[in-house]
Structure 1
Amino acid sequence: MRRVNVNGVAVLVGQAIGGGATAASANRQRVLQAALYGTCSNFNSERFGLSSRSAPPSVTNGCVAGTKSFSAAATSLAQDHAHAHAHSHKFSPKDVVLYQYEACPFCNKVKAFLDYYKIPYGVVEVNPINKKEIKWSDYKKVPILKVDGEQMVDSSDIIDKLFQKLHPDNPVASGDEETKWRGWVDNHLVHVLSPNIYRTTSEAIESFDYITTHGNFSFTERIIAKYAGAAAMYFVAKNLKKKHNITNERAALYEAAETWVDALKGRKFLGGSNPNLADLAVFGVLRPIRHLKSGKDMVQHTRIGDWYTGMESEVGESSRIKA
């Protein structure tokens, strides 16, 4: 147990349940060291922590840092090389379009994956009130990703399919640990975000400021979407707080951040020296709040800042194609 300060009040935090293609130089170093890591309805329900995805079965941590033989390290190097080769040659989509809400955690989870793997993509901002931009689809939630005409839905399923295209000879998850923490993101972390983002009316309006600068909306549509959306989500967040038995929004957010840092067990990333899909998932859903009041408070009051900064560096610049 540890203490974190929430508005000056000490709160006890308990520990809960506990990549990308690697650069050639980094792989060579790993071989020389032979030390490998084991590795909304009118508002989108995924966006606001109401995903219908069921939680994966509970599993134990199965992969820890350890020293392998040179031959095992060489095998890993060959596999990484094959993954990079598959990424650059076997999967080169010509037209990738993401239908999204800019502030949607699940949409940002998909974008983190696309950015990390340097897959260029266009973006269509969906009006959260009338969702006219996705009237063509039978699926009425975001994210929706179209890859060379193929529609993909549900953030985790989208990532699984893209990963399999990048690594056709590799399973989606490299271990139980990665699978568990991806499930934790979808079934726990997202549930504490909305009560924090929309904690007060001013924070709710702040979170909808993006609507004034994103999307091909008229002035009237922007005003309606911003204020009607903020008002609706303020009340949705209150209901989510009750549903998930959250008594203190910030304390729940800080606990989630500390739980994630504990899961790293001193590693740079959960994937070791490079992010895995769980790292990308956590980073993606947190990215929309990073510069909101809730995100600033989270970084100030927890240890997550160093990991987040490292992820920003690894993910790099956005691969979004500017219109």
Structure 2
Amino acid sequence: MAASSCQNVFLRSLVRRNYILKKNHHNIFLGNNRQLSFNRFSNDNLNINKSNVIRASLLTFGTAATIGGVSWGRSLWNRVSVVTERGLGLGASASFFSSGLSVVQAREIEHITRQTDTTGLKLTLYQYQVCPFCCKVRAFLDYHGLSYNIVEVDPIFRKELKFSVYRKVPILVYEGAKEDEQVQMNDSSVIISSLKSFLLTDQDLRQIVTYYPKIETESKGWMSRKVVEYSNRHEIMLGKPGKTNEMKLERKWRIWVDDVLVHNIPPNIYRTWNESVQAFSYIAEKAHFTSYEKFVIQYIGALGMYFVSKKLKKKYNLPDDVRSSLYGAANDWMKSVGKNSFQGGTEPNMADLAVYGVLSSIEGLDAFNDMVRETKIGPWYERTKNAVNTHQGAK
């Protein structure tokens, strides 16, 4: 009985040991398999990651490049498309300078002194030499024989405009007798209307500019920005009611210059890559820039405006043959002139000066030469040019 009991205990002990050994072996087997499975999984992941690293890197680089390209494109648009002044918005109509504010002397100031000037106005024009709107202002100043200073603005960096919240050209600064009497005028049509109102009346120029209040709106689209327009910008403030038919006609065509003619300029002078380079080479040649600045302006500007001109053509519903639109505008203008020497009759009016000023910005370029050859605008242009250069409007 005792032997049988001992035998049973021994057998149970042996079975228990075998069970434990089997269990341990099973656990070791599973553990090893798990380890092998884990190692295999890790190696597979490692292989996948190696292939994906390159893809992920390229994707990241491409995304960054795209974002950077869009940002650069928007910045370039803002800088080089300033020649289309109205399409990009305008600044404040009149900004009175605070005491002690000085103009950036980044470039040499050109002094235009006319013995015909009896106004006593001290004017400084901030401009791009071949900007159509700046040319329009210069045509008015030269025709009336006014003295003024010129500051050529770098169209890429615009360091010369650091004194101004408004960052577009043209800007005309009137410096009064006292430092707090200085006033800044923006927008070519406001500048011209203000000066003409001053020349025809005895009103104070600082008071006149207040007659052209600004209206701010927000443009739509992915390149949205604040747009500032001016009330009355084509009006001459004579201080009395009523307009003659001649004044109404003059005003009508001044508006046409800003709304129609000027929109034909960029798509025509930047129509092809060669014409775009030609235009910016002309810009770099006319302005006083360093060799580096000329290179940047000529090629970066040409590249930017080549693509911008396509957008402008679509925006203003111009035909694919943009030359035909330019010729049509020239013919429309000459119909308004008729058999007269000028639209103003025997002497240029403000519409004559505006059309001449805009077209003078492209004189010598292929677009201008083609227009003169294909239309009858040439003789009128030369007559107006002579009247401007000889200051026939000086009193």
Q: Quick check: TM above 0.5?
A: yes
State which of 113, 120, 123 in structure 1 corresponds to 2:140: 113
Within 5 A, what are the aligned runs for 1:214-229?
214-229=286-301
State which of 320, 345, 354 in structure 2 corresponds to 1:272: 345
Give the letter for the 1:165 counterpart.
Answer: F
Within 5 A, what are the aligned runs for 1:123-138?
123-138=150-165
Contact 2:127 2:150 in 1 (8 A): yes
For each residue in 1:52-94, what CA deviation from the matched residue of structure 2 results, as whole angstroms up to 9, or x when unmatched? 48xxxxxxxxxxxxxxxxxxxxxxxxxxxxxxxxx954x221x
RMSD: 2.3
| Segment of structure 1 superposing worse, 195-204 or 141-150 | 141-150
Identify the residue that residue 199 of structure 1 maps to in structure 2. 271
> What is the deviation of 1:268?
1.1
Change (3 A) 1:212 1:194: closer
Identify the residue that residue 43 of structure 1 maps to in structure 2. 80
**Residue 147 of structure 2: SS of its match in structure 1?**
coil
> What is the deviation of 1:265?
2.2
Contact 1:99 1:142 in 2 (8 A): yes
> What is the deviation of 1:242?
1.1
Within 5 A, what are the aligned runs for 1:12-161?
41-45=78-82, 47=84, 50=87, 52=89, 89=118, 91-93=119-121, 95-148=122-175, 149-161=182-194
Give the letter for the 2:336 counterpart.
Answer: A
Q: Distance in 2 between the 1:137 and 1:254 partners?
A: 38
Q: Distance in 1 between the 2:167 and 2:196 partners?
A: 24
- Whether 2:335 is the aligned partner of 1:298: answer no
Q: Distance in 1 between the 2:140 and 2:340 partners?
A: 20
Give the letter for the 2:120 counterpart.
Answer: S
> What is the deviation of 1:256?
0.2
Q: Distance in 1 between the 2:86 and 2:186 partners?
A: 16
Identify the residue that residue 14 of structure 2 maps to in structure 1. none
> What is the deviation of 1:46?
5.2
**Residue 154 of structure 2: SS of its match in structure 1?**
coil
Q: Which has the higher contact order (CA 8 A, sep 6+)?
A: 1
Contact 2:275 2:366 in 1 (8 A): yes
- Whether 2:334 is the aligned partner of 1:307: answer no
| Segment of structure 1 superposing worse, 176-185 or 203-212 | 203-212
Change (3 A) 1:189 1:107: same
For each residue in 1:220-253, what CA deviation from the matched residue of structure 2 results, as whole angstroms up to 9, or x when unmatched? 1221122111111111101111112212110000
Any gaps of 5 or more consecutive residues in structure 1?
1-39, 54-86
**Residue 342 of structure 2: SS of its match in structure 1?**
coil
User: Normalised by the size of structure 1, how large is the TM-score?
Assistant: 0.71
> What is the deviation of 1:45?
4.0
| Segment of structure 1 superposing worse, 276-285 or 148-157 | 148-157
Q: Distance in 2 between the 1:259 and 1:194 partners?
A: 19
Contact 2:144 2:391 in 1 (8 A): no
Contact 2:117 2:145 in 1 (8 A): no
User: Normalised by the size of structure 2, how large is the TM-score?
Assistant: 0.58
> What is the deviation of 1:209?
1.8
**Residue 307 of structure 1: SS of its match in structure 2?**
helix
Q: Distance in 2 between the 1:214 and 1:254 partners?
A: 26
Give the letter for the 2:256 counterpart.
Answer: W
> What is the deviation of 1:47?
3.0
> What is the deviation of 1:48?
5.7
Q: Give the aligned length.
A: 245
State which of 182, 197, 202 in structure 2 corresponds to 1:164: 197
Any gaps of 5 or more consecutive residues in structure 2?
1-76, 91-115, 176-181, 203-235
For each residue in 1:138-163, what CA deviation from the matched residue of structure 2 results, as whole angstroms up to 9, or x when unmatched? 11000011122421110000001111
Change (3 A) 1:194 1:211: closer
**Residue 254 of structure 1: SS of its match in structure 2?**
helix
For each residue in 1:8-38, what CA deviation from the matched residue of structure 2 results, as whole angstroms up to 9, or x when unmatched? xxxxxxxxxxxxxxxxxxxxxxxxxxxxxxx
Q: Distance in 1 between the 2:335 and 2:253 partners?
A: 12
Query: Rg larger in 1 or in 2?
Result: 2
Q: Distance in 1 between the 2:185 and 2:81 partners?
A: 16
Contact 1:44 1:141 in 2 (8 A): no
Give the letter for the 2:152 counterpart.
Answer: E
Give the letter for the 2:80 counterpart.
Answer: F
For each residue in 1:193-218, what CA deviation from the matched residue of structure 2 results, as whole angstroms up to 9, or x when unmatched? 11001111111111112443444533
Q: Distance in 2 between the 1:300 and 1:110 partners?
A: 26
Identify the residue that residue 257 of structure 2 maps to in structure 1. 185
Kindly report structure 1 stretches of 4+ aligned residues shifted beyond 6 Å: none
Query: Which structure has the highest helix share of the two?
Result: 2
